[in-house]
Amino acid sequence: MIVVTGAAGFIGSVLVWMLNQRGETDILTVDVHPSDAGEPNLAPLKYDRGYQTHEAFRTHLLEGGYDGQLRGILHLGACSSTTETDWSYLERNNITYTQDLCRGALRQGARFIHASSAATYGDGSAGYVDDHDGLDDLKPLNLYGKSKHEFDLWARAEGLLEEICCLKYFNVYGPNEWHKGDMRSMVCKGYEQVRDHDLVRLFRSDRPEFGDGGQQRDFVYVKDAAAMTLWLLDHPEANGIFNVGTGQANDWNTLMSAIFRALDREPNIEYVDMPEHLKGKYQYFTQAEMGKLRAAGCDVPVTPIADAVRDYVVNHLATRRHLGG
């Protein structure tokens, strides 16, 4: 069986959906709250092994449960808030818990794939190369990024990067992210602004080398990110740290214009000052170096940004349709 943690969440539920698309239903879903099994992201999906809370799953795994049954653990469950300030919580939830699952999976000879984050790269001054030796040079800008970075460092120190995958997801957007509140992608929030006010507000730039709305990110559609993840599930010979992105940075103006065009409207963008609490912690440029994953043999195509945004807007945002629904 395949275990997906964070299964009621964003990327986790998309992985379950994509496994279903492949005809796979021997899946155990895991998330935080007992009620999550009935959440909209999971409701349309098939997972024959049922649902467990994250603590129940950890306990059973560490006690030797599932022996001989595990094909792999896709560990997407974590606190993903970039504004979380409780380090002790992040340490327990994002580091210690992940270490426990990693050990449990490896003891049973199961594949372990963990969601790291592009937030580990900080301001990008050390580049965006998924090189194990370069981990020491990275300085995340927030505690969330630090928590992901600390696990990557631990895995390297323990000699585990030859056995597991740590995936540095870049700016993922797409269906099934409604529950994320302020952590939703700007495509989701921008669509609502266009729908309700016929305009989108973006931050002004406070760096001269970037125009207003010209800050650039590697925006990757969740369906593409999930397909790359499942490629790694299917190829246990490929291990280590991998970027998951497109390899092409786009600026916010391009992304927001794609929303307007998907709705057959002319772009209407207004610029506002960046909040003080974000200054010095805001990434102005991210672009995944994708050569390592491609060299491993991953041939999953990347959906062009205009096509991906149109699919998300027309088939999901405008209809409030979850994947599988």
pLDDT in 10s for each residue of the chain, 325 residues: 999 999 999 999 999 999 999 999 999 999 998 887 668 999 999 999 999 999 999 999 999 989 889 999 999 999 988 889 999 999 999 999 999 999 999 999 999 999 999 999 998 999 999 999 999 999 999 999 999 999 999 999 999 999 999 999 999 999 999 998 888 999 999 999 999 999 999 999 988 999 999 999 999 999 999 999 999 999 999 999 999 999 999 999 999 999 999 999 999 999 999 888 887 778 889 999 999 999 999 999 999 999 999 999 999 999 999 999 8
If DSSP codes are grouped into helix, strand and coil, which group holds residue 180?
helix
Q: Is residue 212 part of a domain?
A: no
Catalytic residue among 66, 144, 173, 221: 144
Whether 180 is catalytic is yes
Q: Is residue 267 part of a domain?
A: no
Please report, for the domain that includes residue 238, its CATH number: 3.40.50.720
DSSP character at residue 49: T
Q: CA–CA separation, 255 vs 66, rounded Å?
A: 44
Supply the pLDDT for residue 35.
Answer: 80
Residue 256's closest CA among 219, 281, 222, 288? Answer: 219
Domain count along the chain: 1
Q: CA–CA separation, 137 vs 84, rounded Å?
A: 23
Q: CA–CA separation, 167 vs 34, rounded Å?
A: 27
User: pLDDT tens for residues 273-286?
Assistant: 988 888 777 888 99
Contact present, 12 and 5 (Cβ < 8 Å): yes
Residue ranges making up the domain that contains 61: 2-174+218-247+288-302
Q: Is residue 222 part of a domain?
A: yes
Catalytic residue among 46, 139, 180, 281: 180
| Cα-based torsion angle of the residue sequence 24, 229, 322, 81 in order, rounded to the nearest 10 degrees | 140
Buried b (16+ CB within 10 A) or exposed e, 240-262: bbbbbbbbebbbbbbbbbbbbeb
Supply the pLDDT for residue 86.
Answer: 97
Q: CA–CA separation, 210 vs 49, rounded Å?
A: 50
* DSSP string for 257-304: HHHHHHTT----EEEEPPPGGGTTT--SB-----HHHHHTT--PPPPP
Residue 300's closest CA among 217, 216, 235? Answer: 235
pTM of the model: 0.96
Supply the pLDDT for residue 305.
Answer: 98
Q: Which residue has the tokens 């062009």?
A: 304
Q: Is residue 266 part of a domain?
A: no
Q: Is residue 307 part of a domain?
A: no
User: pLDDT tens for residues 28-37?
Assistant: 999 998 887 6
Supply the pLDDT for residue 34.
Answer: 81
Structure tokens at 165: 């995958």
Q: Is residue 63 part of a domain?
A: yes
